[in-house]
Every structure is written in structure tokens, then in C-alpha cells.
Structure 1
Amino acid sequence: METSELLKKVRQIEIKTRGLSRNIFAGEYHSAFKGRGMTFSEVREYQFGDDIRSIDWNVTARFNHPYVKVFEEERELTVMLLVDVSGSRDFGTVNQTKRSLMTEIAATIAFSAIQNKDKIGVVFFSDKIEKFIPPQKGKKHILYIIRELLDFQPESSRTDVSQVLQYFTNAIKRRCTAFLISDFIDGEFERAMMIANRKHDVVALQVYDPRETELPDIGLVKLKDAETGERLWVDTSDRRLRMAYHNWWGENQISLQQVLAKCNVDSVSISTDEDYVKSLMRLFKLRS
């Protein structure tokens, strides 16, 4: 992508996603993703209704009047985006590709994070770790992330969700919140997900295209697997074939939801023809 075109797209995404995060997500994000705990703020005079367990007995004895300790939430979080950059992300048949939708979702979460003074980092993955961007704060850092989301070219086209979860678990020492953004075509990651979510707070965001849910009746077509490069002629006029594919998709969705539920991971599935804002709002409210 040419530099001028890239900068233009970065600016377009910045304007849209920063506005969304400021006007829509700010409060919901803050409520849904809380800080690590409570930290001491100040001492003030006891007021009717205060919990007597919060009385500071040393200060009370010194002034001969009851005083209580006041605590506030330690708000700052580290947020990680685990973004699938395998070949299947370039598929899209309606309004946009899965790649462009993933980019908008990631950018919106990133702006929501920095508005709440959280650090944000990224791991791009295929069937290996393609790139690691350490967590930082600031608008300059966010714009760098958006540029990479738009223009990053992976070395591999395949997917291995299990590997990125293992890498994330080992690389990030302190507990953080992670958004795993993928189409989840690779389904063998239950154990890695369970271990990662015990140490961190993992949220799964599935991005898919409606054409992936069923085959259209358009006769004989040549299909290409975006991740393996394998090509195959398929007779889509065969009703049994279309039904088998539709059932395969449904069974995979059920299996994915069962794995995420077993691992106690909150999730949402977002189609390229849907308004992702509504889906994210439902997820945030569910966690609040």
C-alpha cells in the first residue's frame, strides 16, 4: 500500500473509531474491564454509615476522633489485542473483508483503552507469532498499531490459535485483559485457552462472513483455501453438498461456543454485514 493511501486510511479509521470509543464505549468499557484492585487514597473523618472496618485506629487515637481510610480502584489495565493475520481474514462478500472489520474493532478497543489510561499492546499471529508490539500508552502508539493492522503482511497464511495463547501466557507476566480477534477456523485450542484465561482475562471476538455459513447455488465453481492454497472444484448445485456444508458450519459454531463456555471465556460473534458497535455493547454490558 502506498504511503499516502495508508495515511489516508489510518486517518479515516482514527476519526471513526476514536469517536465511537469516546461517545459510546467510554463508560461501558470502564465498567466491563475493571482495574486490578483497590489502592489507598486518603484519610477522612468518620461519617455515619461508614464501614467500621475501614477505621484508621492510629489516626483516630492521635486526633481523639474517628477517621477512616478511603480506597479507590487501581484503574490502570494492560490490554492486549491478539489479532489473527492468517490468509482467511482477506475473505469478504458483503460490505467489507474480515480483515477490515478486525481492524476497526481492534482500533475501537485501542482508543477505548487509552481514554481510560490503559496500556495497549498487540500480538499478530498466524500459525506462528508474526509480530509483538509491547503495551504502551498514547495516541502515537495507537496510530502505529492502526498502521500495522492495515498494512502488516504475515510470513505464513495458516492459523494456530493455541500457539498465540501459549505465547501470550508466557510473555505477559502481570494479569491483563486480552481480546482474541479471529475467525476461529482453527478449533484445537481448548487447553491453551483454559490456561491463558486462568492467568489473564481473555475475551474472544469471532469475525466471520455470512457467505461462510452456507454455499450459494451457483453451479460448478473452483474454490481456493486461503490458508493452504489448495484448489478444489465444487458443484454447488448439489443440494446434499450445500446441506452438508451448512451443517458443518453449525456444528463448528456449537463446538466453539462449548469450548469457550468450558474455559469461562466471554465471547461474541460478529458478521461482516453487521453493526459491530451493537455486538460490542452487548458484550460490555454482559460483563458490567
Structure 2
Amino acid sequence: MLFTKPAVTHHPSAAPDELISVSLKTLIDLARPAAGLTHPLSSIRAVQSGGYLSRFKGRGMEFDETRLYQPGDDLRTIDWRVTARTGKPHTKIFREERERPVFISVDDRPAMHFATRGVFKSVLAAKLAALLAWTAEHHGDRIGGQIFSEYDCRELKPQNGKQAVLHFLHALVGRPVQNQPASYAFEQILARLVKHVRPGSRVYIISDFRGINEAAEVHLSRLSEHCDVALLFVFDALEQSLPEKGRYRFTDGERDVVMDSADARRLADYRQRFTERLERLQTLARKENLQLILCGTSDDPVLRLKTLLRGQ
């Protein structure tokens, strides 16, 4: 059996080509359903469009509190009225009102171009990313991203408006450079992400998380210290478990691998690798207070994001 194209029965309205690749028009058309998605921080929006009260205190427009002066405080922030009234120096603390950057990291490695049902993992990842970008734009946030493959990793600086979303969508449908001699390990991708994302950002990582290891976990932990992080784990049902009986041929058009599901040991190893990856992500999510959502290739991306955003 050749697993190069997913079955069409789960998405009867999609054209065959849209099951294995996604068009720019499809991603642009997702602006309408994205308008109905609940924004994660809509309850704390300021009156000014695009404004948030940052959890990181500093000099800004919104007064937060007065506290006792501490060595190193800026003398310009001393609250002279409270100081005169109490006889002890006090400092004003502010919270910044600002637009919140949203940074979307999308996995486009070869293993993402696969499915046995629904759409390719890469197609689902692109749709999820587009929906998140449009949702952020609808609420006045700045949109940036990272799109990575084996040989290419592109970062897009967060910017405002529809042009920023369109720039991101063009990058999603564009093909990565394949002639670079060096390849990127997953932990290297995450190290770049930590470097490019600013504190206070909302970060979405859409991937099958192949290659996650201790080094990758360290970068995710570091990222979570100053950002809100959500992990969208994209997978195909066949990756969870093989059918009980039969021989199956997998191909990427160049290489073939034959799997005999009657081989109990090999079948157990196959299932165990997926289970270990999922459990590793679940443990990390609990430890670092990350959001984790599973997205199967047959799932409706709008419904999956409603589940994600509802939990924020």
C-alpha cells in the first residue's frame, strides 16, 4: 500500500491538490472563520485598539502601584506625595500598554508532508497558522513567525495589519531553500526562536515535534519564562498505531520503507516512539505551564483552535 496521498473521504469539499498542498487563496479565505475565534486575552483589552496591559512592569502609560523605594530604582519615578506623607521614600510602578506580538512557528520538514487520511500534516499546520495570524490581526496584534524545514529557517519580524498577515501567508506557501549544505536539528530551531521572540509575546509552535530532546526542552523552558507558549502537536492516525495485520509500504517518492505489522516487536517499538514523544510533551507542558493541543490530520482546524483559545 502506498501512503503518499491521504484519503479524500474526510474532506469531500477539498480539491485533491489541496489535500497535499495549500494555496494562498485558501489561507486568505480563512480570514472569515478566524473572525469568529475568541481572542485569548480579549477580556483585558484596553480601550485603545490593540492595547494590552503587560504583565512586565516598567515605565509606561498605566500607573500600577506605589511601593517602598528600592536601591536601583529610577529617581524620576519617586512618588513625592507619598514620600512626604509617610516620611519614607516610595516609588511609582507602571505597566506598559502595548500591542502584543504573536509569533507563529511552523514545521515544514519532510515528515510533515505525510498523511493517510484527511490532509497532509503540512497542510493542516499551514491552515492552523493562517487562522492564528488572522485572529491576531482581527484583534490588533502584531504578527510574526518562523517557518523551518531541514535546510531552511526563516524568521518574520512581527508587524501590524493585513499586509503583515499576507507576508506571513506568502512565506507559508513558498518553498524553502533546499541547496544549503547545513541542516537544522530541532533544538537549533528552538534556539533561534528563543533569540528572535521578544518577552511578553504569545508564541504558537505547530509541529509533529520529531527530534524533541533534552536540549529542545531547555529552549522551550527558557521561552516559557517570558512568553505565553502553546504547542500544537500535529499527527496522522497511522503514527499512533499501525493496523494489526498486513505489510505496508511507505514512500516519499524516492525512498521506500516496508513495515510488517504482524511483527509484534516492531509494531510495539513503532507505537512506543509516538507514545514517548507525546508523553514527553505532556510532561513538559505540565511542568512549564504550556498549552498543548493535539491536532489530527482529519480534524477541522477551526474547531481545534476554538478548543485551544477557549482554554487561554
**What's the TM-score bracket when you normalise by the shorter of the two chains?**
0.7 to 0.9
Are 1:203 and 2:230 matched, yes or no?
Answer: yes
Residue 282 (structure 1) shift? 2.2
Aligned to 2:282: 257
For 1:249, the aligned partner's letter is F
Match of 1:194?
Answer: 221
| 1-structure distance, mates of 2:302, 2:118 | 15
Q: Is the 8 A contact 1:221 1:234 kept in 2?
A: yes
Deviations 1:71-120 (A, max 9, x none): 99835101111111111110111121111111111001101111111111
TM-superposed CA distance for 1:152, in Å, is 2.4
The verdict on how the C-alpha distance between 1:238 and 1:186 changes in structure 2, with shifts beyond 3 A counting, is: same
The answer to whether structure 1 residue 36 and structure 2 residue 54 are counterparts is yes
Letter in 2 for 1:216: P
Check whether the contact 1:10–1:146 (CA below 8 A) recurs between aligned residues. Answer: yes
One of 108, 112, 117 as aligned partner of 1:89: 112
Match of 2:165 in 1: 142
Whether contact under 8 Å (2:103, 2:197) holds in the other structure is no
Partner of 2:141 in structure 1?
A: 118
Give 1 or 2: higher helix fraction.
1
Q: Could you state the TM-score of these two structures normalised by the residue count of structure 2?
A: 0.70
Verify: 1:10 aligned to 2:33, yes or no: no
RMSD: 3.4
What is the TM-score normalised by the length of structure 1?
0.75
Q: Which amino acid aligns with 2:112?
A: R
Shift of 1:231: 4.5
Q: Which residue of 2 aligns with 1:62?
A: none
Q: Which runs of 5+ in 1 are unaligned?
A: 43-51, 59-70
Identity %: 24
1:109-166 deviations in whole A, cap 9, x for unaligned?
A: 1011111111111111235652111111121221221122123224379763322222
1:264/1:159 CA distance change after superposition, 3 Å = farther
Matching residue of 1:132: 155
- CA distance in structure 2 between the aligned counterparts of 1:239 and 1:279, rounded to whole angstroms: 34
Paired amino acid for 1:271: G
- Write the letter of the residue equivalent to 1:194: S
Q: How many residues align?
A: 256
Q: Is the 8 A contact 1:175 1:201 kept in 2?
A: yes
The match for 1:46 is none
Deviations 1:220-261 (A, max 9, x none): 3343589xx864332223344334322332232112211222
